[in-house]
Amino acid sequence: MKVGVLALQGAFGRHEQVLSALGAAPVEVRTPAELAEVDRLVIPGGESTAISKLLDANGLAQPLADRLADGMPVLGTCAGMILLAAGVVDGYPGQRCFGAVNVAVRRNGYGRQSDSFHTDLAIMPWEEPFPGVFIRAPVVESVGDGAEVLAELDGRPVLCRQGSAVVSAFHPELAGDDRLHRWFLDEV
Ligand code: GLN
């Protein structure tokens, strides 16, 4: 199984470290040919507007949409969540959202960089809380048909899944806890 990490912009290096430590030998994806080689993909945090533009500039938007429609397993964190959502508030006009998970998100809904925070999250079915790292994170404003909420913070979804697509508002690659990546590799 070949795991790709979308490496156009943002926190892709930390995802690679966690995946490598789990023995997954991740590859960086920047081109349609590289995308075609992978069986699953991580879309990192960063700046969703920049990643969206770079997907267009690199000819990756349509190939990515096709792979998602085919059910390629995908994990999108923070900016990755925004890109995989079905709707985005406060994006730029024409910002891509691929609709892999039927949620609508608001960019920077938890505030600015200085409002970043850590908090423990209860993620079913794990007994130990998961360290949630939120950095200019998107707020999930609504959840539509087909999307499943796996964790909430103060009544708002922060981890959602629809089929083989998983999205988190937080940064599991910065948690010092590899359970979410392990679960994505083994069970999604
Ligand atoms: N606010 C960023 C965006 O809109 C996401 C922040 C992050 O990925 N840490 O893309």
Instruction: Give the domains, in start order, of the chain with CATH numbers.
Output: 3-186 (3.40.50.880)
C-alpha to C-alpha distance for 151 and 143, rounded to whole angstroms: 13
pLDDT for residue 113: 83
Average pLDDT, 10 consecutive residues per value, the chain (188 residues)? 97 98 98 98 97 98 98 98 96 93 96 90 93 97 98 97 98 98 96
pTM for the full predicted model: 0.97
Which position among 16, 78, 97, 181 bears the catalytic label?
A: 78
User: Ligand 1 pocket by C-beta < 6 Å: which residues?
Assistant: 45-48, 78-79, 82, 107-108, 135-136
Which position among 15, 97, 160, 173 bears the catalytic label?
A: 173
C-alpha to C-alpha distance for 52 and 80, rounded to whole angstroms: 10
Residue 32 has a CB neighbour count (10 Å cut-off) of 17
Answer for the pair 101, 84: CB distance below 8 angstroms, yes or no: yes
pLDDT for residue 176: 97
pLDDT for residue 115: 85
